[in-house]
Amino acid sequence: MKDFRLYAITGEQFHPGRALLEVMEEAIAGGVEIIQLRDKDSSREEVLRKARALRELTRKHGVTFIVNDYIDIALEVDADGIHLGQDDLSLQEARKLVGDKIIGISTHAIEEALVAEEQGADYIGVGPVFATKTKVDVVDPVTVAYVQEVASRIRIPFVAIGGIKLSNVDEVIAAGATRICAVSEIVGSADVAGTCRAFLSKLEGRE
């Protein structure tokens, strides 16, 4: 997979009245390098419709496209990869289905991170770093201490996620994160592209 710094996840509840594609195109304009479609509420048909549209958008702009959970949809639209949680299909089983596509795994403890690395994950999510309202079944915040531990022990790419805002991202970067994922702070922003550029400035040490 291509290296990346800024990863955005769809969260339509944070931009009522604004179209999904419009918001994600603005995120791409701001420098987002990976977009993940995560939709736990819509029908499979609706998720597939969104996946097709986002696949077309991301391909047009050369952005990596990841589908959360729906391996069949990821394959149907030829997404670049999938993202799985700890309670989803095992990484080994997923690998049999998706071949050399990207597989990302959510982790909440160093033991999970080490297993994901050993089993061949292409990247891991590290979080939630802070409290977040994005997911209703979220575990307790792992804090920047977990980010520090992963930065010192894990060799595959990792992305810090969960409650990350422009106001607290400096703590995450100081803990060793070089890749950031944000949801509400990006897609719920009045200036999506500007918010993305501000995150990148911080990651690049320009702020």
* φ, ψ dihedrals at 94, nearest 5°: -65, -40
Point out which residues pair with 126 in neighbouring strands: 107, 160
Q: Which residue is catalytic, options 5, 38, 55, 179?
A: 38
Distance CA 82, CA 65 (A): 9
Q: Are 20 and 42 in contact (CB under 8 A)?
A: no
Clarify whether 38 is annotated catalytic.
Answer: yes
* Residue 119 burial (CB count, 10 A): 14
Q: Which residue is catalytic, options 49, 52, 59, 135?
A: 135
Host H or E run for residue 169: helix 169-174
Q: Are 195 and 160 in contact (CB under 8 A)?
A: no
Q: Which residue is catalytic, options 5, 101, 106, 184?
A: 106
Which residues does 175 contact at the CB level (< 8 Å), separation at least 6? 144, 145, 147, 148, 151, 160
Which amino acids are annotated catalytic?
38, 106, 135
